[in-house]
Structure 1
Amino acid sequence: SVGLELSVNNHAADFTLSAELGPAISLSCLVHNSSQAEELLWYRGDGQVGLTDGNKVNISNICISPVSESDNGVTFTCKLARDKSVQVSVILDVQFPPQLSGEETLHVEEDKDATLTCNCKSNPQAQSSWLKDNHSLTLQQSRHELYQTSEVFQLSIRKVQKSDNGTYTCVVESHLGNGTRDFHLIVEDKKPVFPKEAVIAAVVVVTITLLFGIVARKDKFFKVW
């Protein structure tokens, strides 16, 4: 394999290929400086791609269709079968507008903490912000906390009050498009420390236990006598 080289779409070294959602992408791998038939292999990540017999020798083409979000960041590699160190890789950079998801309604007891989680996928990463009841949310340093990764935008509220009731909107903006998702925060009354139902249940259990105890003693009493 001395002197043998590969190219993918005319690139002899690893490269990144930008793509959009939908339209197919073709990758063409070509052997250079070969004096014989050379078998080629394709990999998607660590998994080998199945090739037809007429698409393995000296030139090999694969097609990604349709291109989806799951292809973003994936590496496709063409390798020489008899010397896998001879290879060229291409990383797909699939660009797509924001796609949002997350639990829409949250019931939280007063004085407990609440976290609204807006799952957001986009490439490139988008600008994110929160609205409350269609107005910009005024963040209070002592009560509000924002957390953001490439796929999550969170708003945490410490010790929620009745005034925190409302509709919170996760707004995500990129040059490819914008996305919004509403989250309804419902602040419920604080539960009493000892709920009535629990107290009643405990009284019933104790009463039944005492009754069974008395009956058991009667049985013993009659057996003795």
Structure 2
Amino acid sequence: MLSFTLISCLIFALANCQRTPTIQYISQEQIKDIGQTVDLDCSVIYSQEYPVMWIKVEPKGNVVPISSSSNLNIKDNRLSLRHDPTSTTYTLQIKDIQETDAGIYRCAIYISIGNPVSADVHLLVRRPPVISDNSTRSVVVSVDQAVRLECYAEGFPHPRISWRRENNEMLPTGGSIYRGNVLKIAKVQKEDRGTYYCVAENGVGKGARRNIAVEVEFQPVITVPRPRLGQALQYDMDLECHVEAYPPPAIVWIKDNVQLSNNQHYSISIFATADEFTDTTLRVITIEKRQYGKYVCKATNKLGSAQAEVELFESIIPVCPPACGQAQYGEAAQVTTSMALLLISSALFLFLH
């Protein structure tokens, strides 16, 4: 008959044989910034005879063994492994965390090949926003067309998208800020053209911004600062037109249905002050009688044309500028000034008598 001691030993051995290695504790989900340090803890029991491994699970399902028991399998100065025999805890430490370190880390006890006991911990790395390539960069549309501006960004936490205009101008949707990935303009107007800002923010870093140019095509609009101008014979005079259009228009000056060109009688200047704004000046040189009358400033682009009139009439006294400062007109100016004084004196004489 078996002794009590022997029976007790057999029971103890049998109990030991039936104990399955178990993961008692594993770190909860970890959220860290780039450059920080993280400790991943895994406490096990009944695993003395089995290897305990840390494994990284790649996004496509591939596994990368990092450590086995107390040994590291990867040569990386940022990684270290601590084993506390008292608590049977294996601690994987990652220093100077990089974006690529994010993922699933698995603590596994391999009882036999293909039969592990495992638990996972997620390491999430906060990343500043990066605006995606599939976001809008620029658009060119015609007046009254619909516009769709899109902006997407990657990062962790997931970035929030907002829209603004240059100088905080009013958005076509109303207000100075619009939140959402897509900004829609139902019927764009020429006043809606300009620079729009897509801003991505998630509380990490300063955020990201993309400038989106919105070009609106529209037919020319002409304004004339001085519709009627007087000038004396034999003096020069500048006729001006301001043109607003996109695409930039072709501009001509016309008198008596004849298109004018640069010659001894006329000088035409065209200055583009911006993509949509053009100033044009027609200088009438040494004015003769036949050059008085109405001049037409005409601008044309693919969306249409516009025209405006400037009338040049004869005056007795030269108008400055451009008459002032011209040396060849010095004597004539003196004569004209004397004539003006004579006329004023005559008027005073008649008034007093």
> What TM-score results when the alignment is normalised by the length of structure 2?
0.48
CA distance in 1, matches of 2:259, 2:158: 65
Of 176, 188, 210, which residue of structure 2 is paired with 1:88?
A: 210
Provide closer, same or farther for how the CA distance between residues 6 and 164 of structure 1 changes in structure 2, counting only shifts above 3 A. same
Matched, 1:199 2:345: yes
Larger RCO, structures 1/2 (Cα 8 Å, 6+ apart): 1
- Higher alpha-carbon Rg: 2
Count of matched residue positions in the alignment of Structure 1 and Structure 2: 194
Unpaired runs of 5+ in structure 1?
208-225
Which residue number corresponds to residue 42 of structure 1?
163
Unpaired runs of 5+ in structure 2?
1-125, 170-175, 273-277, 319-335
Offset at 1:29? 2.3
Q: Which amino acid aligns with 2:200?
A: L
Percent identity over paired residues: 19
Of 128, 137, 144, which residue of structure 1 is paired with 2:251?
A: 128
Provide closer, same or farther for how the CA distance between residues 203 and 188 of structure 1 changes in structure 2, counting only shifts above 3 A. closer
Matched, 1:27 2:27: no
**Could you say what the CA RMSD is over the residues aligned between the two structures, in angstroms?**
2.9
Q: Deviation string for 1:77-133 (max 9, x for gaps)?
A: 111233445222210111111111213322222233211111111111111111111
Q: Deviation string for 1:137-163 (max 9, x for gaps)?
A: 25323x422111221111011232212
CA distance in 1, matches of 2:295, 2:347: 39
Structure 1: which 4+ aligned runs deviate by more than 6 Å? 201-204
Which residue number corresponds to residue 158 of structure 1?
285
CA distance in 2, matches of 1:70, 1:110: 43
CA distance in 2, matches of 1:28, 1:75: 14
Provide closer, same or farther for how the CA distance between residues 121 and 158 of structure 1 changes in structure 2, counting only shifts above 3 A. same
Provide closer, same or farther for how the CA distance between residues 114 and 38 of structure 1 changes in structure 2, counting only shifts above 3 A. same
CA distance in 1, matches of 2:150, 2:137: 13
Of 237, 240, 243, which residue of structure 2 is paired with 1:114?
A: 237
Offset at 1:203? 6.6
Q: Which amino acid aligns with 1:68?
A: Q
Which residue number corresponds to residue 30 of structure 2?
none
Matched, 1:79 2:199: yes
